[in-house]
Amino acid sequence: MFKKLFGSSEPKEEKILPWIALNSVEQLNSIAEKSKTKTQLIFKHSTRCGISRMVMDQFVSAYDVDANADLYYLDLLSYRTVSDEVGYTFQVLHQSPQLLVIKNGVVVAHASHGGINEMDLGRFL
């Protein structure tokens, strides 16, 4: 009964995603170009926001590691200029947390907060 309420004392195996650090504006041209042959995902995360952490943890838990996409991680507090440029380049209003799906050089879907984990990424891969 206690295991059901409080969980097992055994450590959970942590899932590692194939994150690519997004930390320069120059990478955005490459992302747009690569999106012509492979879906590109950008996850914008605020490292000081509890909601952003919760959404990211849920995303990591549910993400299919074998998905045919490049997965970029943007720490928007450390790279504000890059975060701003993502909005300009891909014409998406800034949110945090936020997930952008890029195909053929344009954002084909985006979501923020709880909407991230409601997205059916399989439609875009």
Share of the chain above pLDDT 70, in %: 90
pLDDT, tens digit, 9 for 90 and up, residues 45-84: 999 999 999 999 999 999 987 889 999 999 999 999 999 9
Are the beta carbons of 73 and 96 closer than 8 angstroms? no
Share of the chain above pLDDT 90, in %: 76
Residues 6+ apart with CB under 8 A from 83: 44, 74, 76, 94
Are the beta carbons of 41 and 68 closer than 8 angstroms? no
pTM of the complete model: 0.87
Residues 6+ apart with CB under 8 A from 45: 52, 53, 56, 73, 74, 75, 76, 96, 97
Whether the predicted pLDDT of 6 surpasses 90: no
- For the chain, the average pLDDT equals 90
| Domains of the chain and CATH, by start | 16-124 (3.40.30.10)
CA distance 114 to 84: 22
